[in-house]
């Protein structure tokens, strides 16, 4: 079982570039590998004083090179069971080479060569393949470098789009202050924080997390933001208590048609009204942390509902929330809560609570910075990290 896991790991991680490289470029690499390992045949001739027939030496060299190429193809491209067959074949490879060389020698009546001439032949047989292999390696890495450069340029462009779609949000109304910030783990992330001020002065702020990260999550994130803002165009005209459940309903209907089947989104949204009332709705999100300086405690708010875009469900609900002057709401994505230290211990809710209680009186920008700093000190970032923070004024 241990060997099987190691093979699966190498196939999934270490050999991924070769598995994804098209044959139009991979042939350069396999040819270079063939030439490098063909040297074994000439080395074997040198160890025998160069007396092997030229044809036999070339056959042994070719079979050694083909064996090395076969390993690459099996591990990178072929089904897993073929690895076991190849390992079994290696036990008989020496016998196979001997049989083929003996057959060729008898069939074509190949004769041993003088030792001095054979040594010179083997020496050239080592030098030429090595130099030629170097040229093929250079060609392969040059081709891969051009592809990598193109990808880097595209990712840089996508990163610019990401900064446009998910800038830090900072909004202040008569009763509320809102700040949000997203820190992608790659150049393009799948987290989204946004705030929309309705014509009547109410504000809807929300934080969404697309399952996964990288370019595909970033694309879906952009679609979700567009869909959310479109759905909120007439939110000021309806009943405030129904606006957020209706937003979740609309997003859950729209997302399945514009995403891969396994992808989904979690979302936490707040409606902050000009009269001081607050409504919230959650879809499979981490808890909302509610800190109150008057009660001097911190409460967790959690609402169990399905994620968006995964199942054709309806009946999303929301609830009201009473905020006192100075109260702070904090929502953090899994990228913060699931940061792990060297012992695979997660950052978790408790450490987030400690950071909030210590820095809750600071400006929201500093509170967010302190939380992100605490998470970065605790462990390495592996997922997008996003925070939405809201404070009620007097």
pLDDT in tens, 257-285: 988 888 999 999 999 999 999 999 999 99
- Would you call 254 helix, strand, or coil by DSSP? helix
Annotated domain spans of the chain: 2-158, 166-392
The domain made up of 166-392 has a fold known as Phosphatase 2c; domain 1 (3.60.40)
What average pLDDT does this structure show over 77-81? 75
Average pLDDT of the segment spanning 41-68: 93
φ and ψ at residue 264, rounded to 5 degrees:
-160, 175
Q: Which of 259-263, 316-320, 384-388 has the lowest mean pLDDT?
A: 259-263
pLDDT at 383 over 50: yes
pLDDT at 193 over 90: yes
**Cα–Cα dist 44/123, whole Å:** 11
Mean pLDDT of the chain: 88
pLDDT given for residue 296 in this prediction = 78
The DSSP line for 282-296 is EESPPPEEEEETTTT
228: its two tokens = 């959310």
| pLDDT over 60 at 379, yes or no | yes
pLDDT for residue 6: 53
Q: Whole-model pTM? A: 0.69
Count other C-beta atoms under 10 Å from residue 194's C-beta.
22
Which phi and psi angles does 180 have, rounded to 5°? -140, 150
- Please report how many Cα atoms fall inside a 13 Å half-sphere around the Cα of residue 166, on the Cβ side: 32
Nearest CA-CA partner of 337 in 302, 369, 381: 381
196 touches 204 (CB < 8 A): yes
Tens digit of each residue's pLDDT (9 = 90 or more) over 328-373: 999 999 999 999 998 899 999 999 999 999 999 999 999 999 999 9
Chain centre distance of CA 206? 24
Mean pLDDT of 183-211: 88
């Amino acid at each position: 079982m241990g060997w099987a896991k190691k093979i699966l790991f190498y196939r999934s991680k270490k050999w991924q570039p070769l598995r994804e490289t098209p044959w139009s470029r991979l042939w350069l690499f396999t040819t270079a590998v063939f030439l490098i390992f063909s040297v074994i045949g000439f080395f074997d001739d040198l160890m025998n004083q160069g007396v092997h027939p030229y044809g036999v030496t070339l056959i042994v060299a070719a079979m050694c090179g083909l064996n090395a190429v076969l390993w690459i193809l099996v591990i990178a491209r072929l089904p897993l069971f073929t690895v076991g067959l190849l390992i079994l074949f290696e036990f008989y490879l020496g016998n196979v080479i001997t049989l083929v060389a003996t057959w060729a020698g008898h069939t074509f009546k190949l004769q041993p060569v003088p030792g001095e001439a054979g040594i010179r032949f083997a020496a050239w047989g080592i030098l030429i393949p090595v130099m030629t292999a170097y040229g093929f390696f250079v060609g392969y890495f040059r081709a891969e470098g051009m592809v990598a450069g193109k990808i880097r340029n595209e990712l840089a462009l996508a990163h610019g789009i990401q900064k446009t779609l998910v800038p830090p949000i900072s909004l202040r109304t008569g009763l509320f202050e809102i700040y949000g910030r997203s820190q992608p783990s790659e150049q393009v992330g799948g987290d989204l924080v946004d705030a929309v001020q309705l014509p009547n002065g109410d504000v809807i702020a929300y934080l969404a997390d697309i399952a996964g990260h990288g370019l595909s999550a970033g694309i879906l994130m952009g679609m979700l933001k567009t869909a959310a803002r479109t759905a909120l165009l007439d939110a000021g005209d309806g009943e405030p208590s129904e606006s957020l459940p209706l937003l979740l309903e609309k997003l859950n209907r729209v997302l399945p048609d514009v995403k891969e089947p396994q992808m989904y989104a979690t979302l936490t949204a707040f409606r902050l009204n000009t009269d001081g009332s607050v409504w919230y709705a959650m879809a499979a999100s981490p808890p909302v942390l509610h800190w109150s300086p008057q009660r001097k405690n911190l409460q967790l708010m959690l609402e169990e509902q399905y994620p968006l875009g995964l199942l054709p469900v309806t009946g999303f609900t929301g609830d009201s929330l009473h905020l006192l002057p100075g109260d702070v709401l904090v929502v953090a994505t899994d990228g913060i809560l699931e940061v792990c230290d060297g012992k695979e211990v997660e950052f978790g809710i408790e450490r987030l609570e400690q950071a909030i209680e210590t820095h809750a009186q600071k400006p929201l920008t500093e509170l967010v910075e302190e939380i992100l700093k605490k998470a970065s000190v605790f462990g390495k970032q592996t997922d997008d990290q996003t925070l939405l923070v809201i404070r009620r004024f007097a």
